[in-house]
Amino acid sequence: MSYTVTDARLLRINLTKKTIKVEKIEQELFRKFLGGRGLGSKYLIDEIDPKIDALSEANKLIFANGLLTGTFAPTGGRYMVVTKSPLTGTIASSNSGGFFGAEFRNTGFMMIIIEGKSAEPVYISINDEDVKIVDAKALWGLSTHETTDKLVEAFGVEGAKVACIGPAGENLSKIAAIMNDKHRAAGRSGVGAVMGSKNLKAIIVKGSRRVDIEQLEKFKEIVKVQNGMLKAHPVTGEGLPALGTKVLDNIINSNGLYPTRNFQSAIFSGVAEVCGEALVNKKYLQNNTACYGCVIACGREVALPNGLKGEGPEYESGWSLGADCGANDLIAITEANFLCNELGLDTISAGATIALAMELYEKGFIPKEDLEDMVEPRFGNSEAVVYYVKGMAYRETKLAAKMADGAYRLGKAYGHPELAMVVKKQELPAYDPRGVQGHGLQYATSNRGGCHVRGYMISPEILGVPEKLDPQALEGKPAWVKIFQDLTAVIDSAGLCLFSSFALGGDEYRDLINAVLNTELTTEETLKIGDRIWNLERQFNLAAGILPDQDTLPDRLLHEPLPDGPQKGCYSQLQKILPEYYQLRGWDEKGYIKTSTLKDLGLV
């Protein structure tokens, strides 16, 4: 059985009342917001008061497929989790690959909107039209891997896919992730805690309906050409398959941007031990793996000499649990990464929070009794990295319980929030913005707080793709950031992987979208959809009380020059480029959206 791309419906499940409803999605919404991040955000904003407590019953948790998820579009397997973030207070949208999204689309449902809160642990089971809320008491407390195995076994139908939380989400850690297919994470902004707050342990999906493409022949041709482009491009055809994202360790370190010991330095002396090349040379890397519909296959299947097996570390995870904590033991870093996946913690936030605990402890701001005799968090101590991952997921000690809510709240609890390397309370990823000005602007303005995948300026500023920009130059950067942010919103809402954008551009995404929507959008109009989504998210944040004064970076990055490396002496010049960015966005000089802009985008 098949259905057309926009003939999709949504499932509305109320966990308080235990009701399940099916609703139609208005066609117009696909043209305005595509799906995934855009469509999910539109529903969230229409349905919740942005000021609510994110962990209260009033919050909603939306699983949204992208417009092209489950089709055979290149990398078309991604789904998005949209909710209000308990970490940042902003809108959260965290996306993930693997196979869950495509299977979810095969049920014929474009979205699931989860409301209310169950009194007891439950999971949701979806087998095409057969949707049930099922008791999950026996699953509560289990790791994401155990949960997945048990659910698939109980489901009894081959090919069912699971998204679930681990103990971290159950314990409402504000940096908890939702894991799918065991190793893939909708990681950021604490979406796992929202799921935990609703007593929802998992969602299992199995579908037999296929998305029907009206202009099938045309679509096939477009996909063939684009898969060819992905295979021919050095990044997506060669670099990512061979070395994965960890090819970046040496690139970023050699450029003097590799944040070390909680951003106290940007050069890591232990990089040779932990880099992507080492993962290959030490023979830990077994294979590369691919998500649904992906010819790139950047995933890492890794086996350690101690017998542990899993996927990762990715560049970000390897950095946060490694260099940021001053740790150079690749085995321990990988083990900590596996643990994050099993316990359901966001790796970036987990590592960055441990790094802050290390700085606070070494500076004497954390009293020893808060450790409750557990390992001392000191830079370079990889045993501490592994322990505190576990400690945070279970809120084990006085210190770990505070760490479970992320770096900002940890710093605040010990009197030094300024040492938390966060934007809008979300931990920054693996690029020191003092050495790369456009990327710093993108961190400061990201609608979900500190994040590298809302507009990956590292590509032009460091990697030289599509063209090389001087990382310290300011001129032209606001325009680049805006275009990257808008394009990324399109990719996220289409349900495609951001990595495809190393080889594909606005014209390619436009062609895919036009083929399934039967539209004739120009590239400019396609980017305008991204602009609309960006402003929609900003509207939510402003209404939630996350005001423009939070479009900034930690003091350390604004005022303390880089202490070493090729960019020694540089610091972020954010204030010099932020006004131009506001202007390009159609916002007033204070950073509020002008009514004329909202009108132009059809948001009023």
Partner 1 sequence: MITIKFYSLLRLLVKIEQVELELADVPISTVLEEAAKKVKTPFLHKLVQDGKLITGTIILINGRNIHHLDKLNSRVQDGDEIALFPPGGGG
Least distance to ligand SF4 from the beta carbon of 583, Å? Answer: 34
Return the number of the residue (351 or 548) whose C-beta is nearest partner 1: 351
- Report the first-to-last Cα separation within the chain, whole angstroms: 38
294 binds, among ligand SF4, partner 1, none (CB under 5 to 8 A by kind): ligand SF4
Return the number of the residue (30 or 480) whose C-beta is nearest partner 1: 480
Return the number of the residue (40 or 237) whose C-beta is nearest partner 1: 237
Return the number of the residue (152 or 297) whose C-beta is nearest ligand SF4: 297
Return the number of the residue (557 or 562) whose C-beta is nearest partner 1: 562
268, containing H or E segment: none
Return the number of the residue (14 or 254) whose C-beta is nearest partner 1: 254
Least distance to ligand SF4 from the beta carbon of 544, Å? Answer: 30
Return the number of the residue (97 or 190) whose C-beta is nearest ligand SF4: 97
565 binds, among ligand SF4, partner 1, none (CB under 5 to 8 A by kind): partner 1
Q: Which residues contact 528 (CB under 8 A, 6 or more apart)?
A: 486, 601
Q: Are strands 109-115 and 9-14 parallel, antiparallel or unpaired?
A: parallel
Ranges of beta strands (E only) in 213-296 are 285-289
Name which of residues 145 to 184 contact ligand SF4 (CB under 6 A): none
What mask, x for binding ligand SF4 by CB under 6 A, covers residues 274 to 313?
Answer: ----------------xx--x-xxxx--------------
How far apart CA 83 and CA 62 sit, in angstroms, is 6
Q: Which residues contact 22 (CB under 8 A, 6 or more apart)?
A: 9, 10, 11, 12, 109
433 binds, among partner 1, ligand SF4, none (CB under 5 to 8 A by kind): none
487 binds, among ligand SF4, partner 1, none (CB under 5 to 8 A by kind): none
How far apart CA 204 and CA 206 sit, in angstroms, is 7
Is residue 106 within 8 A of residue 327, CB to CB? The reply is no
Give residues in contact with partner 1 (CB under 8 A): 234-236, 238-240, 242-248, 250-251, 254-256, 276-277, 280, 314-316, 459, 462-468, 470, 499, 502, 565-567
299 binds, among ligand SF4, partner 1, none (CB under 5 to 8 A by kind): ligand SF4
Return the number of the residue (246 or 402) whose C-beta is nearest ligand SF4: 246
User: Which DSSP string do the residues of 343-405 spell out, in sequence order?
Assistant: HTB-HHHHHHHHHHHHHHHHTT-S-GGGGTTS----TT-HHHHHHHHHHHHHT-SHHHHHHTT
Q: Are strands 2-4 and 122-127 parallel, antiparallel or unpaired?
A: unpaired
Residue 37: both structure tokens together: 């991040």
Angle at the Cα of 262 (from 259 to 263), degrees rounded to 5?
A: 40
Amino acid present at 538: R
14 binds, among partner 1, ligand SF4, none (CB under 5 to 8 A by kind): none
| 80 is a contact residue toward ligand SF4 (CB under 6 A) | no
410 binds, among partner 1, ligand SF4, none (CB under 5 to 8 A by kind): none
Rounded to 10 degrees, the C-alpha dihedral 126/130/131/137 comes to -80
Ranges of beta strands (E only) in 244-306 are 285-289, 299-303
Least distance to partner 1 from the beta carbon of 256, Å? Answer: 5
122 binds, among partner 1, ligand SF4, none (CB under 5 to 8 A by kind): none
Least distance to ligand SF4 from the beta carbon of 226, Å? Answer: 13
How far apart CA 95 and CA 525 sit, in angstroms, is 24
Residue 202: other Cβ atoms inside 10 A:
26
573 binds, among ligand SF4, partner 1, none (CB under 5 to 8 A by kind): none
3 state SS for 168-204:
HHHCCCCCECEEECCCEEECHHHHHHHHHHCCEEEEE
Least distance to partner 1 from the beta carbon of 275, Å? Answer: 8
Is residue 89 within 8 A of residue 426, CB to CB? The reply is no
Name which of residues 477 to 516 contact ligand SF4 (CB under 6 A): 497, 499
Return the number of the residue (499 or 540) whose C-beta is nearest ligand SF4: 499
315 binds, among ligand SF4, partner 1, none (CB under 5 to 8 A by kind): partner 1
Which position among 70, 86, 97, 166 is part of the footprint of ligand SF4 (CB under 6 A)? Answer: 97
Least distance to partner 1 from the beta carbon of 316, Å? Answer: 8
Return the number of the residue (178 or 248) whose C-beta is nearest partner 1: 248
Burial track 524-557 (b if 16+ CB lie within 10 A, e otherwise):
eebbbbbbbbbbbbbbbbbebebebebbbbbebb
Least distance to ligand SF4 from the beta carbon of 96, Å? Answer: 9
320 binds, among ligand SF4, partner 1, none (CB under 5 to 8 A by kind): none
Q: Which residues contact 159 (CB under 8 A, 6 or more apart)?
A: 103, 206
Least distance to ligand SF4 from the beta carbon of 2, Å? Answer: 24
Amino acid present at 505: G
Q: Are strands 200-206 and 122-127 parallel, antiparallel or unpaired?
A: parallel
Return the number of the residue (484 or 502) whose C-beta is nearest partner 1: 502
566 binds, among partner 1, ligand SF4, none (CB under 5 to 8 A by kind): partner 1
248 binds, among partner 1, ligand SF4, none (CB under 5 to 8 A by kind): partner 1
Return the number of the residue (181 or 461) whose C-beta is nearest ligand SF4: 181
Angle at the Cα of 323 (from 471 to 93), degrees rounded to 5?
A: 70
Residue 520: other Cβ atoms inside 10 A:
8
Return the number of the residue (154 or 251) whose C-beta is nearest partner 1: 251
75 binds, among ligand SF4, partner 1, none (CB under 5 to 8 A by kind): ligand SF4
Least distance to ligand SF4 from the beta carbon of 288, Å? Answer: 8
Return the number of the residue (297 or 304) whose C-beta is nearest ligand SF4: 297
Could you tell me the CA-to-CA distances from 308 to 305, 319, 341, 342 in Å, in that order? Answer: 7, 20, 13, 12
**Interface residues with ligand SF4 (CB under 6 A)?**
75, 97, 290-291, 294, 296-299, 497, 499
